[in-house]
A and B are shown apart, each in its own frame.
Chain A
Amino acid sequence: MTLDELPRGQRAVVTALDLRGGERRRLMDLGLLPGAAIRADMTSPLGDPTAYEVRGALVVLRRGQARTVHVEQAGTGEG
Protein backbone atom coordinates (compact mmCIF):
# COMPACT_ATOMS: atom_id res chain seq x y z
CA MET A 1 0.00 0.00 0.00
CA THR A 2 1.04 3.65 -0.20
CA LEU A 3 1.29 6.06 2.71
CA ASP A 4 -1.83 8.05 1.81
CA GLU A 5 -3.90 4.89 2.42
CA LEU A 6 -2.56 4.43 5.94
CA PRO A 7 -5.43 5.10 8.39
CA ARG A 8 -4.94 7.68 11.10
CA GLY A 9 -3.22 6.33 14.19
CA GLN A 10 -1.83 3.29 12.35
CA ARG A 11 1.82 2.35 12.12
CA ALA A 12 3.75 1.17 9.10
CA VAL A 13 7.27 0.68 7.79
CA VAL A 14 8.50 2.49 4.70
CA THR A 15 9.45 0.06 1.93
CA ALA A 16 10.23 2.30 -1.04
CA LEU A 17 10.05 5.85 -2.41
CA ASP A 18 8.63 6.46 -5.89
CA LEU A 19 10.53 9.68 -6.34
CA ARG A 20 13.73 10.87 -7.90
CA GLY A 21 16.22 13.66 -7.56
CA GLY A 22 15.74 16.55 -5.20
CA GLU A 23 12.28 15.55 -4.03
CA ARG A 24 13.51 12.11 -3.06
CA ARG A 25 16.48 13.56 -1.25
CA ARG A 26 14.29 16.01 0.61
CA LEU A 27 12.01 13.29 1.96
CA MET A 28 15.03 11.24 2.91
CA ASP A 29 16.46 14.23 4.79
CA LEU A 30 13.29 14.16 6.84
CA GLY A 31 14.06 10.57 7.75
CA LEU A 32 11.70 8.90 5.27
CA LEU A 33 13.89 6.02 4.16
CA PRO A 34 13.13 2.40 3.49
CA GLY A 35 12.96 0.73 6.87
CA ALA A 36 11.78 3.81 8.75
CA ALA A 37 8.84 3.37 11.12
CA ILE A 38 6.05 5.82 10.39
CA ARG A 39 2.69 6.60 11.95
CA ALA A 40 -0.19 8.61 10.51
CA ASP A 41 -0.72 11.15 13.26
CA MET A 42 -3.29 13.72 12.23
CA THR A 43 -4.95 15.15 9.17
CA SER A 44 -5.49 18.82 8.44
CA PRO A 45 -9.05 20.00 9.17
CA LEU A 46 -9.50 20.60 5.44
CA GLY A 47 -8.71 16.94 4.70
CA ASP A 48 -5.19 17.37 3.36
CA PRO A 49 -2.25 17.33 4.15
CA THR A 50 -1.49 14.79 6.87
CA ALA A 51 1.17 14.91 9.57
CA TYR A 52 3.19 11.72 10.05
CA GLU A 53 5.37 10.81 12.95
CA VAL A 54 8.81 9.73 11.75
CA ARG A 55 11.78 9.31 14.07
CA GLY A 56 10.14 11.35 16.80
CA ALA A 57 9.27 14.32 14.57
CA LEU A 58 6.01 15.37 12.93
CA VAL A 59 6.44 15.68 9.18
CA VAL A 60 3.68 17.09 6.97
CA LEU A 61 3.02 15.54 3.56
CA ARG A 62 0.43 16.44 0.96
CA ARG A 63 -1.59 13.50 -0.40
CA GLY A 64 0.26 13.50 -3.72
CA GLN A 65 3.58 13.11 -1.92
CA ALA A 66 2.27 10.45 0.45
CA ARG A 67 1.19 8.45 -2.59
CA THR A 68 4.83 8.14 -3.65
CA VAL A 69 5.82 6.48 -0.37
CA HIS A 70 5.28 2.73 -0.26
CA VAL A 71 4.68 1.23 3.17
CA GLU A 72 3.89 -2.06 4.82
CA GLN A 73 1.38 -1.80 7.59
CA ALA A 74 2.56 -2.95 11.00
CA GLY A 75 0.60 -3.19 14.26
CA THR A 76 -2.02 -0.70 15.36
CA GLY A 77 -2.34 2.06 17.88
CA GLU A 78 0.10 4.01 19.91
CA GLY A 79 1.76 1.07 21.68
Chain B
Amino acid sequence: MTDLLDEAARLRRGLSGDASHDLGDRIVESLYTDAARIAATSVDRDDARAKLTVDRALDRVLTHRVWGFVAMGVLFFGVFWFTIAGAAVPSDLLYQLLVENGHGWLRGLFEAVGAPWWVTGLLVDGVYLATAWVIAVMLPPMAIFFPLFTLLEDFGYLPRVAFNLDRLFARSGAHGKQALTMMMGYGCNAAGVTATRIIDSRRERLIAIITNNFSICNGRWPTLILMGTIFVGAVVPPALAGVVAAGSVVAVVIVGIGVTLAVSWLLSRTVLRGESSVYTLELPPYRPPQVLRTLYTSIIDRTLKVLRRAVLMAAPAGAVIWLVGNVHLGDASVAAHLVTALNPVGWVIGLNGVILLAYLVAVPANEIIIPTIVMLTLTLGANTLGAAPGVMLELGDDAQIGSVLVGVGGWTLLTAVNLMLFTLLHNPCSTTVLTIWHETRSVRWTTVATLLPLGLGFAVCALTALIWRLVV
Protein backbone atom coordinates (compact mmCIF):
# COMPACT_ATOMS: atom_id res chain seq x y z
CA MET B 1 0.00 0.00 0.00
CA THR B 2 3.02 2.25 0.26
CA ASP B 3 2.87 3.17 -3.41
CA LEU B 4 -0.12 5.31 -2.52
CA LEU B 5 2.01 7.14 0.00
CA ASP B 6 4.77 7.60 -2.59
CA GLU B 7 2.21 9.01 -4.97
CA ALA B 8 1.02 11.42 -2.30
CA ALA B 9 4.59 12.51 -1.68
CA ARG B 10 5.16 13.05 -5.40
CA LEU B 11 2.04 15.17 -5.75
CA ARG B 12 2.95 17.08 -2.64
CA ARG B 13 6.34 17.96 -4.10
CA GLY B 14 4.57 19.10 -7.24
CA LEU B 15 2.66 21.73 -5.34
CA SER B 16 4.38 25.07 -5.21
CA GLY B 17 6.82 26.11 -2.51
CA ASP B 18 7.22 24.44 0.83
CA ALA B 19 4.21 22.38 0.01
CA SER B 20 3.27 20.38 3.09
CA HIS B 21 3.56 23.45 5.25
CA ASP B 22 1.67 25.75 2.88
CA LEU B 23 -0.91 23.10 2.18
CA GLY B 24 -1.90 22.73 5.82
CA ASP B 25 -2.25 26.50 6.06
CA ARG B 26 -4.29 26.71 2.91
CA ILE B 27 -6.69 24.04 4.10
CA VAL B 28 -7.23 25.68 7.47
CA GLU B 29 -7.51 29.08 5.81
CA SER B 30 -10.14 27.88 3.38
CA LEU B 31 -12.06 26.34 6.29
CA TYR B 32 -12.02 29.61 8.16
CA THR B 33 -12.89 31.61 5.06
CA ASP B 34 -15.94 29.43 4.51
CA ALA B 35 -16.80 29.55 8.20
CA ALA B 36 -16.56 33.33 8.25
CA ARG B 37 -18.74 33.64 5.15
CA ILE B 38 -21.41 31.25 6.45
CA ALA B 39 -21.39 32.88 9.88
CA ALA B 40 -21.67 36.35 8.37
CA THR B 41 -24.73 35.40 6.33
CA SER B 42 -26.45 33.41 9.11
CA VAL B 43 -25.87 35.51 12.21
CA ASP B 44 -27.70 38.70 13.01
CA ARG B 45 -26.31 40.70 15.90
CA ASP B 46 -28.56 43.10 17.63
CA ASP B 47 -27.33 44.89 20.72
CA ALA B 48 -24.55 42.37 21.09
CA ARG B 49 -22.40 44.75 23.10
CA ALA B 50 -24.82 45.40 25.92
CA LYS B 51 -24.88 41.91 27.37
CA LEU B 52 -21.33 40.91 26.73
CA THR B 53 -20.19 43.71 29.01
CA VAL B 54 -21.52 41.76 32.00
CA ASP B 55 -18.97 39.07 31.23
CA ARG B 56 -16.33 41.69 30.69
CA ALA B 57 -17.10 43.49 33.95
CA LEU B 58 -16.89 40.18 35.81
CA ASP B 59 -13.58 39.48 34.14
CA ARG B 60 -12.27 42.92 35.07
CA VAL B 61 -12.84 42.06 38.72
CA LEU B 62 -11.85 38.40 38.70
CA THR B 63 -8.58 39.04 36.87
CA HIS B 64 -7.80 42.37 38.55
CA ARG B 65 -4.31 42.65 40.01
CA VAL B 66 -5.71 43.15 43.49
CA TRP B 67 -9.34 42.06 43.43
CA GLY B 68 -8.56 39.04 41.31
CA PHE B 69 -6.44 37.56 44.07
CA VAL B 70 -8.84 38.69 46.79
CA ALA B 71 -11.72 37.00 44.95
CA MET B 72 -9.65 33.86 44.46
CA GLY B 73 -8.78 33.75 48.16
CA VAL B 74 -12.36 34.34 49.24
CA LEU B 75 -13.80 31.76 46.85
CA PHE B 76 -11.38 29.02 47.78
CA PHE B 77 -11.43 29.85 51.47
CA GLY B 78 -15.21 29.71 51.13
CA VAL B 79 -15.12 26.28 49.51
CA PHE B 80 -12.79 24.89 52.18
CA TRP B 81 -14.71 26.53 54.99
CA PHE B 82 -18.01 25.18 53.69
CA THR B 83 -16.41 21.75 53.37
CA ILE B 84 -14.93 21.70 56.87
CA ALA B 85 -17.79 23.41 58.67
CA GLY B 86 -20.57 21.73 56.70
CA ALA B 87 -19.08 18.28 57.13
CA ALA B 88 -18.84 18.51 60.91
CA VAL B 89 -22.46 17.73 61.75
CA PRO B 90 -23.05 14.90 59.24
CA SER B 91 -19.64 13.47 60.14
CA ASP B 92 -20.65 13.41 63.80
CA LEU B 93 -23.93 11.76 62.92
CA LEU B 94 -22.26 9.09 60.82
CA TYR B 95 -19.70 8.65 63.55
CA GLN B 96 -22.34 8.06 66.15
CA LEU B 97 -24.28 5.76 63.89
CA LEU B 98 -21.44 3.68 62.44
CA VAL B 99 -18.72 3.84 65.07
CA GLU B 100 -20.36 4.34 68.42
CA ASN B 101 -23.62 2.47 67.91
CA GLY B 102 -22.83 0.25 64.93
CA HIS B 103 -19.59 -1.04 66.40
CA GLY B 104 -21.13 -1.92 69.76
CA TRP B 105 -24.11 -3.56 68.10
CA LEU B 106 -21.95 -5.60 65.75
CA ARG B 107 -19.66 -6.62 68.59
CA GLY B 108 -22.67 -7.75 70.58
CA LEU B 109 -23.92 -9.74 67.60
CA PHE B 110 -20.58 -11.51 67.16
CA GLU B 111 -20.42 -12.34 70.88
CA ALA B 112 -24.01 -13.55 70.88
CA VAL B 113 -23.32 -16.10 68.13
CA GLY B 114 -20.23 -17.20 70.01
CA ALA B 115 -17.58 -16.15 67.50
CA PRO B 116 -14.00 -16.73 68.71
CA TRP B 117 -12.41 -13.57 70.25
CA TRP B 118 -9.91 -13.23 67.41
CA VAL B 119 -12.60 -13.38 64.72
CA THR B 120 -14.55 -10.64 66.50
CA GLY B 121 -11.34 -8.67 66.98
CA LEU B 122 -10.13 -8.96 63.40
CA LEU B 123 -13.45 -8.33 61.70
CA VAL B 124 -15.25 -6.01 64.09
CA ASP B 125 -12.48 -4.14 65.90
CA GLY B 126 -10.20 -4.14 62.86
CA VAL B 127 -11.91 -4.25 59.47
CA TYR B 128 -15.31 -2.81 60.42
CA LEU B 129 -14.05 -0.04 62.63
CA ALA B 130 -11.46 1.21 60.13
CA THR B 131 -14.00 1.19 57.32
CA ALA B 132 -16.65 2.91 59.41
CA TRP B 133 -14.17 5.56 60.47
CA VAL B 134 -13.16 6.28 56.88
CA ILE B 135 -16.77 6.62 55.74
CA ALA B 136 -17.66 8.89 58.65
CA VAL B 137 -14.62 11.08 58.10
CA MET B 138 -14.51 11.12 54.30
CA LEU B 139 -18.02 10.96 52.90
CA PRO B 140 -19.43 14.28 54.17
CA PRO B 141 -16.49 16.48 53.12
CA MET B 142 -16.31 14.85 49.70
CA ALA B 143 -20.03 15.15 49.16
CA ILE B 144 -19.68 18.88 49.84
CA PHE B 145 -16.32 19.62 48.23
CA PHE B 146 -16.83 17.96 44.86
CA PRO B 147 -20.17 19.62 44.01
CA LEU B 148 -18.90 23.04 45.10
CA PHE B 149 -15.80 22.59 43.01
CA THR B 150 -17.84 21.44 40.03
CA LEU B 151 -20.09 24.51 40.36
CA LEU B 152 -17.04 26.78 40.13
CA GLU B 153 -15.90 24.74 37.16
CA ASP B 154 -19.29 25.02 35.39
CA PHE B 155 -19.51 28.72 36.08
CA GLY B 156 -16.31 29.16 34.05
CA TYR B 157 -14.18 30.42 36.91
CA LEU B 158 -11.37 27.85 36.92
CA PRO B 159 -9.84 28.92 33.58
CA ARG B 160 -9.59 32.44 35.07
CA VAL B 161 -7.56 31.02 37.96
CA ALA B 162 -5.20 29.39 35.48
CA PHE B 163 -5.02 32.74 33.67
CA ASN B 164 -4.19 34.61 36.88
CA LEU B 165 -1.55 32.20 38.09
CA ASP B 166 -0.04 31.23 34.76
CA ARG B 167 3.12 33.28 35.19
CA LEU B 168 4.11 31.46 38.37
CA PHE B 169 3.79 28.15 36.60
CA ALA B 170 5.49 29.40 33.43
CA ARG B 171 8.49 30.46 35.51
CA SER B 172 8.63 27.01 37.10
CA GLY B 173 8.64 25.43 33.66
CA ALA B 174 5.21 23.94 34.27
CA HIS B 175 1.97 24.09 32.34
CA GLY B 176 -0.55 26.79 33.18
CA LYS B 177 -3.27 24.20 33.55
CA GLN B 178 -1.33 22.67 36.43
CA ALA B 179 -3.12 25.24 38.61
CA LEU B 180 -6.37 23.43 37.81
CA THR B 181 -5.09 19.94 38.52
CA MET B 182 -3.64 21.22 41.81
CA MET B 183 -7.07 22.42 42.82
CA MET B 184 -8.58 19.04 42.06
CA GLY B 185 -5.82 17.64 44.27
CA TYR B 186 -7.13 19.60 47.24
CA GLY B 187 -10.15 17.34 47.04
CA CYS B 188 -8.40 14.09 46.24
CA ASN B 189 -4.95 13.49 44.80
CA ALA B 190 -6.12 10.51 42.78
CA ALA B 191 -8.69 12.77 41.12
CA GLY B 192 -6.02 15.45 40.65
CA VAL B 193 -3.68 12.99 38.97
CA THR B 194 -6.46 11.87 36.63
CA ALA B 195 -7.25 15.52 35.89
CA THR B 196 -3.72 16.06 34.51
CA ARG B 197 -5.07 14.56 31.30
CA ILE B 198 -5.97 18.12 30.32
CA ILE B 199 -2.23 18.71 29.84
CA ASP B 200 -1.12 17.51 26.43
CA SER B 201 2.64 17.55 26.79
CA ARG B 202 4.00 14.47 28.53
CA ARG B 203 6.81 16.37 30.20
CA GLU B 204 4.53 18.96 31.77
CA ARG B 205 1.98 16.32 32.62
CA LEU B 206 4.58 14.33 34.57
CA ILE B 207 5.53 17.45 36.50
CA ALA B 208 1.88 18.01 37.34
CA ILE B 209 1.46 14.38 38.42
CA ILE B 210 4.57 14.31 40.61
CA THR B 211 3.72 17.58 42.35
CA ASN B 212 0.01 16.91 42.81
CA ASN B 213 0.74 15.27 46.15
CA PHE B 214 1.67 18.70 47.55
CA SER B 215 -1.97 19.71 47.30
CA ILE B 216 -3.43 18.58 50.61
CA CYS B 217 -6.24 16.15 50.00
CA ASN B 218 -9.41 15.55 51.98
CA GLY B 219 -7.88 12.65 53.84
CA ARG B 220 -5.18 14.92 55.24
CA TRP B 221 -7.25 17.95 56.23
CA PRO B 222 -8.52 16.33 59.46
CA THR B 223 -4.94 15.65 60.68
CA LEU B 224 -3.90 19.25 59.98
CA ILE B 225 -6.96 20.74 61.59
CA LEU B 226 -6.66 18.52 64.65
CA MET B 227 -2.97 19.28 65.17
CA GLY B 228 -3.57 23.00 64.62
CA THR B 229 -6.40 23.00 67.12
CA ILE B 230 -4.90 20.86 69.89
CA PHE B 231 -1.30 21.99 69.82
CA VAL B 232 -0.71 25.21 67.85
CA GLY B 233 -3.87 26.99 68.96
CA ALA B 234 -3.15 26.07 72.55
CA VAL B 235 0.06 28.11 72.55
CA VAL B 236 -1.77 31.44 72.38
CA PRO B 237 -4.53 32.91 74.60
CA PRO B 238 -7.92 31.23 74.05
CA ALA B 239 -9.34 34.32 72.31
CA LEU B 240 -6.84 33.94 69.49
CA ALA B 241 -6.75 30.15 69.43
CA GLY B 242 -9.21 29.71 66.56
CA VAL B 243 -7.51 32.21 64.28
CA VAL B 244 -4.02 30.89 65.01
CA ALA B 245 -5.15 27.30 64.51
CA ALA B 246 -6.73 28.15 61.14
CA GLY B 247 -3.67 30.23 60.27
CA SER B 248 -1.36 27.28 60.89
CA VAL B 249 -3.41 25.15 58.50
CA VAL B 250 -3.34 27.89 55.84
CA ALA B 251 0.42 28.21 56.38
CA VAL B 252 0.87 24.52 55.55
CA VAL B 253 -1.22 25.01 52.39
CA ILE B 254 0.98 27.92 51.33
CA VAL B 255 4.11 25.90 52.04
CA GLY B 256 2.56 23.23 49.80
CA ILE B 257 2.10 25.70 46.93
CA GLY B 258 5.69 26.88 47.39
CA VAL B 259 6.96 23.29 47.33
CA THR B 260 4.87 22.60 44.20
CA LEU B 261 6.46 25.50 42.34
CA ALA B 262 9.96 24.72 43.62
CA VAL B 263 9.78 21.03 42.74
CA SER B 264 8.28 21.86 39.32
CA TRP B 265 11.14 24.28 38.72
CA LEU B 266 13.71 21.70 39.80
CA LEU B 267 12.22 18.91 37.66
CA SER B 268 11.90 21.11 34.58
CA ARG B 269 15.54 22.03 34.84
CA THR B 270 16.87 18.53 35.49
CA VAL B 271 15.21 15.26 34.56
CA LEU B 272 12.20 16.77 32.79
CA ARG B 273 13.86 19.43 30.71
CA GLY B 274 12.18 20.61 27.55
CA GLU B 275 10.23 23.24 25.74
CA SER B 276 7.11 24.73 27.24
CA SER B 277 4.21 23.60 25.15
CA VAL B 278 1.90 26.00 23.41
CA TYR B 279 -0.66 27.07 25.89
CA THR B 280 -4.05 27.05 24.30
CA LEU B 281 -6.27 28.15 27.11
CA GLU B 282 -9.58 29.63 26.15
CA LEU B 283 -11.59 31.70 28.59
CA PRO B 284 -15.16 30.51 28.09
CA PRO B 285 -18.08 32.83 28.78
CA TYR B 286 -19.53 32.71 32.28
CA ARG B 287 -22.55 30.48 32.51
CA PRO B 288 -25.06 29.89 35.27
CA PRO B 289 -24.21 26.42 36.59
CA GLN B 290 -26.82 23.66 36.68
CA VAL B 291 -27.05 23.02 40.36
CA LEU B 292 -29.10 19.81 40.48
CA ARG B 293 -27.31 18.12 37.62
CA THR B 294 -23.98 19.02 39.21
CA LEU B 295 -25.03 17.62 42.56
CA TYR B 296 -26.05 14.36 40.96
CA THR B 297 -23.04 13.81 38.72
CA SER B 298 -20.43 14.95 41.21
CA ILE B 299 -21.85 12.75 43.93
CA ILE B 300 -22.10 9.72 41.67
CA ASP B 301 -19.04 10.22 39.50
CA ARG B 302 -16.59 11.57 41.98
CA THR B 303 -17.65 11.10 45.58
CA LEU B 304 -18.88 7.54 45.47
CA LYS B 305 -16.04 6.32 43.25
CA VAL B 306 -13.37 7.85 45.45
CA LEU B 307 -15.14 6.61 48.54
CA ARG B 308 -15.42 3.10 47.17
CA ARG B 309 -11.69 2.97 46.58
CA ALA B 310 -11.01 4.37 50.04
CA VAL B 311 -13.20 1.75 51.66
CA LEU B 312 -11.51 -1.02 49.69
CA MET B 313 -8.21 0.24 51.08
CA ALA B 314 -9.38 0.87 54.62
CA ALA B 315 -10.79 -2.60 55.24
CA PRO B 316 -7.47 -4.45 54.92
CA ALA B 317 -5.69 -1.66 56.78
CA GLY B 318 -8.06 -2.19 59.70
CA ALA B 319 -7.15 -5.86 59.78
CA VAL B 320 -3.46 -4.97 59.79
CA ILE B 321 -3.90 -2.50 62.65
CA TRP B 322 -5.64 -5.12 64.74
CA LEU B 323 -3.08 -7.80 63.88
CA VAL B 324 0.04 -5.77 64.71
CA GLY B 325 -1.55 -4.77 67.98
CA ASN B 326 -2.57 -8.28 68.96
CA VAL B 327 -0.08 -10.73 67.52
CA HIS B 328 2.74 -11.19 69.98
CA LEU B 329 6.32 -12.09 69.23
CA GLY B 330 8.08 -13.07 72.43
CA ASP B 331 7.20 -10.66 75.17
CA ALA B 332 5.67 -7.86 73.08
CA SER B 333 3.24 -7.27 70.22
CA VAL B 334 4.44 -6.86 66.66
CA ALA B 335 3.49 -3.20 66.95
CA ALA B 336 5.72 -2.75 69.98
CA HIS B 337 8.70 -4.30 68.18
CA LEU B 338 8.14 -2.10 65.13
CA VAL B 339 7.74 1.05 67.19
CA THR B 340 10.92 0.32 69.11
CA ALA B 341 12.77 -0.16 65.84
CA LEU B 342 11.33 3.02 64.29
CA ASN B 343 11.79 5.24 67.34
CA PRO B 344 15.38 6.39 66.60
CA VAL B 345 14.43 7.47 63.07
CA GLY B 346 11.31 9.11 64.45
CA TRP B 347 13.36 11.07 66.96
CA VAL B 348 15.72 12.42 64.27
CA ILE B 349 12.82 13.85 62.28
CA GLY B 350 11.02 15.18 65.35
CA LEU B 351 8.29 12.54 65.29
CA ASN B 352 8.19 9.14 66.97
CA GLY B 353 7.99 5.45 66.18
CA VAL B 354 4.22 5.32 66.63
CA ILE B 355 3.65 8.00 64.00
CA LEU B 356 5.94 6.28 61.50
CA LEU B 357 4.24 2.94 62.07
CA ALA B 358 0.87 4.64 61.64
CA TYR B 359 2.04 5.99 58.29
CA LEU B 360 3.09 2.49 57.24
CA VAL B 361 -0.29 1.07 58.19
CA ALA B 362 -2.20 4.01 56.72
CA VAL B 363 -0.60 3.87 53.27
CA PRO B 364 -4.00 2.86 51.84
CA ALA B 365 -5.85 5.89 53.17
CA ASN B 366 -4.49 8.94 54.92
CA GLU B 367 -7.69 9.51 56.84
CA ILE B 368 -6.96 6.72 59.31
CA ILE B 369 -3.66 8.29 60.46
CA ILE B 370 -5.00 9.93 63.61
CA PRO B 371 -7.13 6.96 64.71
CA THR B 372 -4.19 4.63 64.12
CA ILE B 373 -1.81 6.86 66.07
CA VAL B 374 -4.19 7.11 68.99
CA MET B 375 -4.86 3.40 69.02
CA LEU B 376 -1.18 2.49 68.90
CA THR B 377 -0.31 5.06 71.56
CA LEU B 378 -2.93 3.64 73.88
CA THR B 379 -2.04 0.02 73.24
CA LEU B 380 1.64 0.53 73.74
CA GLY B 381 1.51 3.10 76.52
CA ALA B 382 0.11 2.39 79.92
CA ASN B 383 -3.35 0.93 79.48
CA THR B 384 -4.63 3.70 81.64
CA LEU B 385 -7.91 4.21 79.83
CA GLY B 386 -8.65 0.52 79.97
CA ALA B 387 -9.16 0.05 76.24
CA ALA B 388 -9.00 -3.39 74.76
CA PRO B 389 -5.72 -3.71 72.87
CA GLY B 390 -6.04 -3.06 69.18
CA VAL B 391 -9.37 -1.30 69.33
CA MET B 392 -9.43 2.04 67.62
CA LEU B 393 -10.68 4.02 70.52
CA GLU B 394 -13.89 5.83 70.13
CA LEU B 395 -12.72 9.27 71.05
CA GLY B 396 -15.21 11.93 70.11
CA ASP B 397 -13.51 14.77 71.83
CA ASP B 398 -10.43 16.66 70.61
CA ALA B 399 -9.20 17.46 74.11
CA GLN B 400 -9.36 13.78 75.03
CA ILE B 401 -7.17 12.90 72.04
CA GLY B 402 -4.79 15.70 73.04
CA SER B 403 -4.42 14.46 76.59
CA VAL B 404 -3.77 10.92 75.39
CA LEU B 405 -1.06 12.10 72.96
CA VAL B 406 0.67 14.37 75.50
CA GLY B 407 0.17 12.20 78.57
CA VAL B 408 0.69 8.73 77.16
CA GLY B 409 2.55 9.44 73.91
CA GLY B 410 4.84 12.19 75.22
CA TRP B 411 4.07 14.60 72.38
CA THR B 412 5.34 18.17 72.26
CA LEU B 413 4.62 21.17 70.04
CA LEU B 414 7.52 20.02 67.83
CA THR B 415 5.83 16.65 67.31
CA ALA B 416 2.65 18.40 66.20
CA VAL B 417 4.38 20.90 63.89
CA ASN B 418 6.44 18.18 62.28
CA LEU B 419 3.41 15.95 61.92
CA MET B 420 1.73 18.82 60.05
CA LEU B 421 4.76 19.14 57.78
CA PHE B 422 4.94 15.39 57.32
CA THR B 423 1.23 15.35 56.49
CA LEU B 424 2.05 17.64 53.58
CA LEU B 425 5.30 15.93 52.62
CA HIS B 426 5.05 12.18 52.47
CA ASN B 427 4.28 9.48 49.94
CA PRO B 428 0.86 9.62 48.24
CA CYS B 429 -1.75 7.14 49.48
CA SER B 430 -1.81 3.79 47.68
CA THR B 431 -4.91 4.76 45.69
CA THR B 432 -3.03 7.73 44.27
CA VAL B 433 0.09 5.65 43.62
CA LEU B 434 -2.05 3.18 41.71
CA THR B 435 -3.64 6.03 39.75
CA ILE B 436 -0.21 7.46 38.94
CA TRP B 437 0.90 4.12 37.61
CA HIS B 438 -2.31 3.83 35.63
CA GLU B 439 -1.85 7.26 34.10
CA THR B 440 1.90 7.09 33.41
CA ARG B 441 2.30 3.35 32.79
CA SER B 442 5.83 3.86 34.07
CA VAL B 443 7.31 2.15 37.11
CA ARG B 444 10.10 4.70 37.12
CA TRP B 445 7.88 7.80 37.31
CA THR B 446 5.53 6.15 39.77
CA THR B 447 8.54 5.46 42.00
CA VAL B 448 9.74 9.04 41.67
CA ALA B 449 6.29 10.39 42.46
CA THR B 450 6.13 8.13 45.53
CA LEU B 451 9.60 8.56 47.00
CA LEU B 452 10.39 12.18 46.16
CA PRO B 453 7.81 13.68 48.55
CA LEU B 454 8.80 11.17 51.23
CA GLY B 455 12.48 12.09 50.95
CA LEU B 456 11.54 15.75 51.03
CA GLY B 457 9.43 15.12 54.15
CA PHE B 458 12.29 13.42 55.96
CA ALA B 459 14.69 16.23 55.04
CA VAL B 460 12.36 19.07 56.02
CA CYS B 461 11.29 17.43 59.28
CA ALA B 462 14.87 16.57 60.27
CA LEU B 463 15.91 20.15 59.59
CA THR B 464 13.00 21.56 61.59
CA ALA B 465 13.78 19.21 64.49
CA LEU B 466 17.45 20.13 64.43
CA ILE B 467 16.79 23.89 64.48
CA TRP B 468 14.05 23.49 67.08
CA ARG B 469 16.32 21.56 69.44
CA LEU B 470 19.11 24.10 69.00
CA VAL B 471 16.86 27.09 69.60
CA VAL B 472 14.21 25.96 72.07
Q: Does A6 contact B (CB under 8 A)?
A: no
Q: Does B81 contact A (CB under 8 A)?
A: no
Q: Does B65 contact A (CB under 8 A)?
A: yes
Q: Is the CB of B166 within 8 A of A33?
A: no
Q: Is the CB of A33 within 8 A of B28?
A: yes
Q: Is the CB of B63 within 8 A of A33?
A: no
Q: Which residue on A lies nearest to B283, using beta carbons?
A: A58
Within 8 A of B (CB), among A38-75: 42, 44-49, 51, 55, 57-62, 64-65
CA distance A34 to B164 in the complex (A): 28
Q: Is the CB of B167 within 8 A of A34?
A: no
Contacts A20-B21, A30-B282, A58-B283 given: A42-B32 contact, CB under 8 Å? no
- Which of B32, B64, B167 is in CB contact (< 8 Å) with A47? B167
| Minimal beta-carbon separation of A17 from chain B (angstroms) | 9
Q: Does B165 contact A (CB under 8 A)?
A: yes
Q: Does B2 contact A (CB under 8 A)?
A: no
CA distance A64 to B64 in the complex (A): 22
Chain A residues bordering chain B, tally (CB within 8 A): 33
Contacts of A22 in B (CB 8 A): 278
Q: Is the CB of B163 within 8 A of A34?
A: no
Q: Does B168 contact A (CB under 8 A)?
A: yes
Q: Is the CB of A62 within 8 A of B279?
A: yes
Contacts of B69 in A (CB 8 A): 45
Q: Is the CB of A48 within 8 A of B166?
A: yes
- Which of B36, B64, B279, B280 is in CB contact (< 8 Å) with A45? B64
Q: Is the CB of A58 within 8 A of B282?
A: yes
Q: Is the CB of A65 within 8 A of B63?
A: no
Q: Which residue on A lies nearest to B280, using beta carbons?
A: A26
CA distance A55 to B36 in the complex (A): 9
Within 8 A of A (CB), among B37-73: 49, 59-60, 63-66, 68-69
Q: Is the CB of B163 within 8 A of A31?
A: no
Contacts A28-B28, A31-B32, A34-B29 given: A60-B21 contact, CB under 8 Å? no
Type the 1/0 row for B135-170, where 1 means its CB is closer than 8 Å to any CB of A: 000000000000000000000000000011111101
Q: Is the CB of A49 within 8 A of B163?
A: yes
Contacts of B59 in A (CB 8 A): 42
Q: Is the CB of A25 within 8 A of B28?
A: yes
- Which of A29, A57, A58, A60 is in CB contact (< 8 Å) with B28? A29
Q: Does B24 contact A (CB under 8 A)?
A: yes
CA distance A36 to B28 in the complex (A): 12
Q: Is the CB of A25 within 8 A of B32?
A: no
Q: Does A13 contact B (CB under 8 A)?
A: no
| Minimal beta-carbon separation of A51 from chain B (angstroms) | 6
CA distance A35 to B281 in the complex (A): 22
CA distance A46 to B65 in the complex (A): 7
Q: Which residue on B lies nearest to A79, using beta carbons?
A: B49
| Minimal beta-carbon separation of A25 from chain B (angstroms) | 6
Contacts of A24 in B (CB 8 A): 24-25
Q: Which residue on B lies nearest to A25, using beta carbons?
A: B24
* Highest count of chain B CB atoms <10 Å: which of A23, A31, A61, A62: A62
| Minimal beta-carbon separation of B31 from chain A (angstroms) | 9
Q: Is the CB of B60 within 8 A of A42?
A: yes
Q: Is the CB of B283 within 8 A of A62?
A: no
Contacts of A33 in B (CB 8 A): 25, 28-29, 32
Contacts A33-B28, A42-B63, A59-B282 given: A48-B68 contact, CB under 8 Å? no
Q: Is the CB of B278 within 8 A of A51?
A: no
Contacts of B66 in A (CB 8 A): 45
Contacts of B36 in A (CB 8 A): 55
Q: Is the CB of A44 within 8 A of B282?
A: no
Q: A20-B21, A26-B278, A62-B166 are in contact. List 18 more A-B contacts (CB 8 A).
A: A22-B278, A24-B25, A25-B24, A31-B32, A33-B29, A35-B29, A45-B64, A45-B66, A45-B68, A46-B65, A47-B167, A48-B166, A48-B167, A51-B163, A60-B176, A60-B280, A62-B276, A65-B279
Between-chain CB contacts (< 8 Å), 7 pairs:
A24-B24, A46-B164, A48-B167, A49-B167, A49-B279, A60-B280, A65-B278
Chain B interface (Cβ < 8 Å from any Cβ of A):
21, 24-25, 28-29, 32, 36, 49, 59-60, 63-66, 68-69, 163-168, 170, 176, 276, 278-284
